[in-house]
Structure 1
Amino acid sequence: MLNIDFTHINKIWLRLFIIYSVCLLIKAFDLTFGGFFDITFRGLTFTIFFLGYWYLVWHLADRIENTFQRGNMNGFVQIVLHLTYGYFASIVFNMSYRIWDTAFYGNGDEWARNRLLNPELTVSLTLFYFLIYVINQYFRSNITAREKQIRLESLEKEAAVAQYRALKSQIEPHFLFNSLSVLSSVVYKDADMANKFIIKLSRTLRYVIEKNEHTLVKLQEELQIVSDYIFLLKVRFGESIVFNYGIPPELIRIYLVPPVSVQLLVENAVNHNSFSEDNPLNITIKIDDGNLVVSNNINKRKDKKDTTGLGLLNLSKRFKLVAGKDIQISDDGVSYIVCLPLLTSDYSTASLKKPIQQ
């Protein structure tokens, strides 16, 4: 089926219209033409050359701006470089116009009265290029604003779905049942341990419920709740689970992640593997090359039913919406590794549904 991008076509016609309007102005002020709509062959070829040349200049200006945007170049420097490019393009057009008019139409005498660079025409065309630059920036800002709005709307919809799925999958009845069962056995044996268990359990549940309203949370908060969650698991499973963690404190304070993302990976490791004190489950969390890496050894449970993988799929979608990045998953049969892109406040400025609590 033919797929036509009408937005692109409309942009082409708009640019040609603007360039043609400037072409008419030049014809009006150049007395060697017969007015605005000079129907001579010279007037026609000039119009075609002017349209083609300045459309190419405009197209290259787009490419230049894209390069500047990717390089995060200073705005003032961008303007200076654009004006330099526009001035150079104007000089090239002026000289080409002069050579063409002299060689093919014998207007050398007319050009001899003007200085070589014809400053009036060159400056006028440079200002025309600056007009192109301003129009480009206007359309870019409007498109960017529209894209941000669409992205924010999608993010809010996804956040609502994520909250529902997280509440459904993270606070599973069996987790609460197992935790309360462990608590009932501990409370008579060790009152201090039972008290600590209750505090960490309540903090874990409160975090899951409250922070799911946020798109991103501080890595420090997420890892704190993971630590509480690991405590609950170790009370239940003892030394069957080994938790390896070593991230410098200065790093966990500057990065952001979607809420419950790391806890989800730890829970998946526990749910999908069998382990014992002789053959423990080793869970490692570290930072490597701008990613939070969560890994565990693989010893798949034989009694575990196939799962839909909605948790990881949901997490992947949330990363794509927030930062345009995806999680990386590796499974070599020995280790299961998930890499979460670490985000900074730059990603959260326009995308957080609610501000991050300090």
Structure 2
Amino acid sequence: MTTSDKSIEQDLFKKNERIFSSKTFKYLARIVILYLFSIIFKSFDLSFIEDVHTSIFRSQLFSLLYVGLGLICWEGAIWLSRYVEKGVLKGYISNRLLVLCTAMLLYGLIPAFLFAFLYAMMDIMVFNRYEAWESFSAVSYNMIFGLYIFYVLILTVNGIIYYYKGLKEYQVQTERLKRENIQAQYDALRNQIDPHFFFNSLSVLTNLVYKSADLSADYITQLAKIYRYILDKKFENLVSIQTELDFLDSYLFLISIRHQNSIRFTAEIDEQIKAQGTIPPATLQMLIENAIKHNRFSANDPLLIHVKSEAGYLLVSNQVRKKNVPAISSGIGLDNIRKRYELASGRVIEIHRSDEVFIVKIPIITP
């Protein structure tokens, strides 16, 4: 098929789509459906069959009345569907559907009795016939129940179709707003990393430039790598564990200079997990920074931080060595990680505390 043929097909599809979605087509379809129902319903009124030769005009008036009233009641069903949807929107889907069907069943009584009355009046005034009135006044099975069943079939199907159409649009809109809200929250959480880490690094560099030019140059190089990572991954919700570990090497270089090799870090992570597993950017860095902030250490007695993979998690553990003057905890670090995990994957981190060790279990997110 050539490009021009595809273009013609697309134009025809759009044209047909506009036709089928137009109000004119919608109302014509309703008229045809109602007219067909009126023909079927005439079989309930035996006078149409017994008086075949003189009932053509009467038959058409019957159908005209049925179609006219049906169109009005159809619009009423749409209005009722909207009202019910707004009134019980916060309930469960099954409850909303039950309320809608119940409302339609009750609403169906109105056109059933109204049509029976109008038809009876028309039959008396135009044809001087009383069969319809006798059926209506006696609330007969044929007239009232038959009309009720036909109208309810139309109204219920139409109401359910409209309801699910509205529900689908609502769900799409809700999901779009939810995603936008999640992304905004995630961006806000991620941006907390930049200033917090940046000012700590500048503080160390200020002191370092007076001691060693070469070491200062190496420090600046590693700091540049870190910020290259932060800038490159700023708009990514997840990164591979291997990428995070590469970033962590540069971070640990800065930490070793800042704390004079009094922090020791080890990792036992399966190579396949490194390549395929993902976590939110800077998660490990924030956990290590948290351990450094809340524990005492020295060059003679370094703080040990260990990361290992186990049963779908990364376990980040460190010794507990409470400082004589506890650091003021803002809770931002762990809370940041917790919320980013919830927003990115719906999973939660686990925290285990004891007098000897502090462990944070962070889920490994697989694509």
| TM-score strictly above 0.5 | yes
Change (3 A) 1:196 1:15: farther
One-letter amino acid of the structure 2 residue matched with residue 291 of structure 1: Y
Following TM superposition, the consecutive aligned residue runs of length 4 or more in structure 1 with deviations greater than 6 angstroms are 18-22, 134-140
What residue number does 1:84 align with? none
Matched, 1:158 2:185: yes
Change (3 A) 1:36 1:21: farther
What residue number does 1:343 align with? 365
Please give the alpha-carbon distance, in whole angstroms, between the structure 2 residues aligned to 1:8 and 1:238: 59
1:8-45: CA deviation from partner (whole Å, max 9, x where unpaired): 557232244678899xxxxxxxxx8656457xxxx9xx
What residue number does 2:88 align with? 6
Please give the alpha-carbon distance, in whole angstroms, between the structure 1 residues aligned to 2:88 and 2:212: 68
Change (3 A) 1:292 1:8: same
Please give the alpha-carbon distance, in whole angstroms, between the structure 2 residues aligned to 1:304 and 1:19: 69
Please give the alpha-carbon distance, in whole angstroms, between the structure 2 residues aligned to 1:8 and 1:236: 55
1:137-157: CA deviation from partner (whole Å, max 9, x where unpaired): 878865653443232122222
Q: TM-score, normalised by structure 2?
A: 0.56
Matched, 1:293 2:315: yes
Matched, 1:176 2:202: yes
> How many residues matched?
248
Please give the alpha-carbon distance, in whole angstroms, between the structure 1 residues aligned to 2:165 and 2:357: 51
Structure 2 contact 264–302 (Cα < 8 Å) conserved: yes
Task: Please give the secondary structure, in 1, of the residue aligned with 2:316.
Answer: strand
Task: Please give the secondary structure, in 2, of the residue aligned with 1:215.
Answer: coil
Deviation of residue 328 (structure 1)?
Answer: 1.3
Higher relative contact order (CA 8 A, sep 6+): 1
Please give the alpha-carbon distance, in whole angstroms, between the structure 1 residues aligned to 2:332 and 2:342: 15
Structure (1 or 2) with the greater helix fraction: 2
Deviation of residue 164 (structure 1)?
Answer: 3.6
Please give the alpha-carbon distance, in whole angstroms, between the structure 1 residues aligned to 2:254 and 2:272: 26
Change (3 A) 1:290 1:181: same
Task: Please give the secondary structure, in 2, of the residue aligned with 1:223.
Answer: helix
Deviation of residue 283 (structure 1)?
Answer: 0.7
Structure showing greater radius of gyration is 2
Please give the alpha-carbon distance, in whole angstroms, between the structure 1 residues aligned to 2:265 and 2:278: 22
Please give the alpha-carbon distance, in whole angstroms, between the structure 2 residues aligned to 1:333 and 1:37: 79
One-letter amino acid of the structure 2 residue matched with residue 13 of structure 1: V
One-letter amino acid of the structure 1 residue matched with residue 204 of structure 2: N
What residue number does 1:264 align with? 286
Structure 2 contact 222–250 (Cα < 8 Å) conserved: yes
Change (3 A) 1:8 1:275: closer
Deviation of residue 166 (structure 1)?
Answer: 2.0
One-letter amino acid of the structure 2 residue matched with residue 273 of structure 1: N
Superposition pairs of residues 1-358 of structure 1, within 5 angstroms = 6-8=88-90, 11=96, 12-16=98-102, 36-37=145-146, 142=169, 145-172=172-199, 174-182=200-208, 184-187=210-213, 191=214, 195-345=217-367
Please give the alpha-carbon distance, in whole angstroms, between the structure 2 residues aligned to 1:237 and 1:154: 39
Task: Please give the secondary structure, in 2, of the residue aligned with 1:284.
Answer: strand
Please give the alpha-carbon distance, in whole angstroms, between the structure 1 residues aligned to 2:288 and 2:194: 16
Structure 1 contact 216–257 (Cα < 8 Å) conserved: yes
- Identical pairs, percent: 25
Structure 1 contact 219–257 (Cα < 8 Å) conserved: yes
Task: Please give the secondary structure, in 2, of the residue aligned with 1:244.
Answer: strand
1:135-182: CA deviation from partner (whole Å, max 9, x where unpaired): 99878865653443232122222133224422232223x332114433
The answer for unaligned runs of 5 or more in structure 1 is 23-31, 52-127, 346-358
Please give the alpha-carbon distance, in whole angstroms, between the structure 1 residues aligned to 2:241 and 2:202: 25
Q: CA RMSD in A?
A: 4.0
Structure 1 contact 170–208 (Cα < 8 Å) conserved: no
Task: Please give the secondary structure, in 1, of the residue aligned with 2:361.
Answer: strand
Change (3 A) 1:19 1:255: farther
Please give the alpha-carbon distance, in whole angstroms, between the structure 1 residues aligned to 2:263 and 2:289: 12
Please give the alpha-carbon distance, in whole angstroms, between the structure 1 residues aligned to 2:229 and 2:106: 62
Deviation of residue 244 (structure 1)?
Answer: 0.9
One-letter amino acid of the structure 1 residue matched with residue 88 of structure 2: F
Change (3 A) 1:19 1:166: farther
Change (3 A) 1:238 1:146: same
Task: Please give the secondary structure, in 2, of the residue aligned with 1:7.
Answer: coil
Task: Please give the secondary structure, in 2, of the residue aligned with 1:302.
Answer: coil
Change (3 A) 1:222 1:142: farther
